[in-house]
A and B are shown apart, each in its own frame.
Chain A
């Protein structure tokens, strides 16, 4: 058995009102890929941040190579050979690959920067360590997302001192082809003897590449899997959520009724001639890759972008939404794809965020009735099982799934007629996913129309009645979901197969 490279023992960390980590242990052996899984809010990010020295643990110890680190801060941890590949890329668009790799660690000689040497080393690193050919002179903005991820990895590892690399959700923005490319690079790093911690929501990836897996739930260790088999995923889900999940998707109880939305010939720079209808009590999916025009279509419907042609009839009347407030006033609401930026006011409380769109209901003569607002928020918090169940908590401190529930909760208090959910479960853990799906089903059963725009084919197939497939700015197919397999949908969105 390989010796333990990293040993974190009894790590405890609390935030005001929340015990985020309760005597958590994490042990990574030399040369292994160690998976770290758990629902949002389970403590994955917290323990990674403790390791990075961003948070100071209240108790516990961290040892590298058998030596306990007295003070864990970003410098000592870097010196110990631990590197972090964060979810965000943090790359400068207009820099070349070489400049990006050596940013902040440039090589210089007596005559200034040693550009040729840096390019040679960067290209050699890509070839040998990551198994890909990348020109040092290419600009970052001309690279695909997977390649940018590789540049980010190269930047962390180019000094050759890395012993342990932590990947935080590295594949979240990647398509499946790009994911394969990244995995090839990760496997090469493993061959070079570098240990890795791999944090991800995608259990298929975890079972694919990890040697061992630690599962966290509510800030505690619940399981460590030493042998990963293809069917370990089910056991992991059980460990993560603490209950059996027979099905991700609720059974369908809704039925389409009268027409709610009729879009005719809608056009914009990013799409053209889009026509479709959505009925009350119906869940309609929109599928499409990044760049298919799907995001722009959603924005245009909601008044965030201006259409260049076409008409929209909503709830029985022709509409032109100049701004989201017009859409909201008419009863159309959006749960945006970028919830941290567009969905929530992160520094406001859960209560304020829930009430933000219905402040009129909790005021008298424009003066806010704080108690009414708090009660309303408490109701939503309980109804959607938002954790922590504290309406006074600041939205920033909630996990992704709970943040998404807050955005949904805001619109529930208004009773909208059409819900547009854009990437409703990105960065959301399995447990919250199921709750969100159940809620969507409930909305449709209560007679609302729902549009789900998503890059997750399983979600579209499992949740929707019909799926519109967008490809290069056009709707190329409209398929009944029960006739649709996931493989078929993927083929349609990638243009691999005609409808």
Chain B
């Protein structure tokens, strides 16, 4: 029994909260609210997947928000100033994210700065650039954006919101890449024991370089959706996702049997954070309580994960 508790402790907590919210407020369990909850988690999921890749490599990316912002900024500017088509705008936005990733990759792989410090530097630089570019942080709004672009956030396909579909596609791609492909196997090997991966002939530096770029490009996709949703680019908007993304990845790692960052775990972590936010909202409780609860539960989950290892 104790073993079962330790193994599935976190999933039990999720189930417990789910049951609690459902009983407390019947509105929680309605299809509409559940859909809201999932849709509200889509952008976070995309950023958290980028973070999962970097953490699986043994790094951390504090600049996911900057990549998000660059995705939004480049796309909105392309639409507004250059009358770009929505496809070109999306491409340009993703390239904005690639730029952030290249900067990270050069700092980390080329100049051998630790991922934490390098991405922190990118975060500061990126934040400042955004403020300068927008004269201190004013949004760039674009009311008449093409409907196709707008639909990234508010459209639907066969009744399923586009956001969810985009997030699901990214999720599946990441799952295949990280958990099923030999590239992902190498990523995990590098993250677990870099020197051994190197001696085994894995081009560690190349993988690090490309992975940071992929991660940032992924975050930029989140930025596209974010800007389509509010029809503007809001400087520094991406920052709000950073800590949630880190939390989701580490929740996901803590429920993995070997404690590894993994795609499915990240999905569970994101949905969990979304459920807490949504449920507390419906309870009419102080929204500020959400972070405190998330924090308590995160720490609790990690404690459970440690207990689980001790039981073995």
* Residues of A in contact with B (beta carbons under 8 Å apart): 15-16, 302, 304, 323-325, 327-329, 333-334, 336, 341-348, 352, 356-357, 359-360, 362-363, 366-368, 394, 410
Write out the residue numbers on chain B whose beta carbons fall within 8 Å of the beta carbon of A344: 193, 196
Tell me whether B198 and A363 are in contact (CB under 8 A). Answer: no
A342 to B192, CA, bound (A): 11
Number of A-B contacts (CB under 8 A): 78
Tell me whether A356 and B181 are in contact (CB under 8 A). Answer: no
Chosen A-B contacts, 24 in total, with CB atoms closer than 8 Å, are: A323-B203, A324-B198, A324-B200, A324-B201, A325-B202, A327-B201, A328-B201, A333-B201, A336-B199, A341-B196, A343-B196, A343-B199, A345-B196, A345-B197, A347-B260, A348-B192, A352-B185, A356-B197, A357-B200, A357-B201, A367-B176, A367-B182, A368-B185, A394-B258
CB distance from A181 to the nearest CB of B (A): 32
Supposing A341-B195, A367-B176 touch, asked if A410 and B181 sit within 8 A by C-beta, the answer is no
Picked from A16, A333, A348, the residue with its CB within 8 Å of the CB of B312 is A16
Picked from B182, B196, B258, B312, the residue with its CB within 8 Å of the CB of A359 is B182
Write out the residue numbers on chain A whose beta carbons fall within 8 Å of the beta carbon of B202: 325, 356-357
Write out the residue numbers on chain B whose beta carbons fall within 8 Å of the beta carbon of A327: 201
What 10 pairs across the A-B complex have the smallest Cβ distances?
Answer: A328-B201, A359-B182, A325-B201, A345-B193, A363-B182, A356-B200, A357-B200, A366-B181, A342-B199, A342-B195
Write out the residue numbers on chain A whose beta carbons fall within 8 Å of the beta carbon of B185: 352, 356, 359, 368
Picked from B176, B183, B195, B203, the residue with its CB within 8 Å of the CB of A325 is B203
* Residues of B in contact with A (beta carbons under 8 Å apart): 176, 180-183, 185-186, 188-189, 192-193, 195-203, 205, 258, 260, 312
A245 to B199, CA, bound (A): 34
Query: Across the two chains, which residue of chain B brings its CB closest to A347?
Result: B192
Tell me whether A304 and B199 are in contact (CB under 8 A). Answer: yes
A361 to B134, CA, bound (A): 52
CB distance from B4 to the nearest CB of A (A): 15
Query: Across the two chains, which residue of chain B brings its CB closest to A336?
Result: B199
A sample of 8 more A-B contacts (CB under 8 A), given A323-B205, A362-B182, is A15-B312, A323-B203, A324-B199, A328-B201, A356-B186, A356-B197, A356-B202, A367-B176
A422 to B141, CA, bound (A): 63
Query: Across the two chains, which residue of chain B brings its CB closest to A361?
Result: B182
Query: Across the two chains, which residue of chain A brings its CB closest to B310?
Result: A56
Tell me whether B203 and A366 are in contact (CB under 8 A). Answer: no
CB distance from A442 to the nearest CB of B (A): 22
CB distance from B158 to the nearest CB of A (A): 28
A346 to B192, CA, bound (A): 8
Tell me whether A360 and B182 are in contact (CB under 8 A). Answer: yes
Write out the residue numbers on chain A whose beta carbons fall within 8 Å of the beta carbon of B189: 345, 348, 352, 356
A197 to B68, CA, bound (A): 60
Tell me whether B196 and A366 are in contact (CB under 8 A). Answer: no
CB distance from A321 to the nearest CB of B (A): 11
Query: Across the two chains, which residue of chain A brings its CB closest to B188?
Result: A348
Tell me whether A367 and B181 are in contact (CB under 8 A). Answer: yes
CB distance from A383 to the nearest CB of B (A): 19
A342 to B194, CA, bound (A): 8
A334 to B198, CA, bound (A): 11
Picked from A16, A323, A359, A410, the residue with its CB within 8 Å of the CB of B198 is A323
Picked from A304, A342, A363, the residue with its CB within 8 Å of the CB of B196 is A342
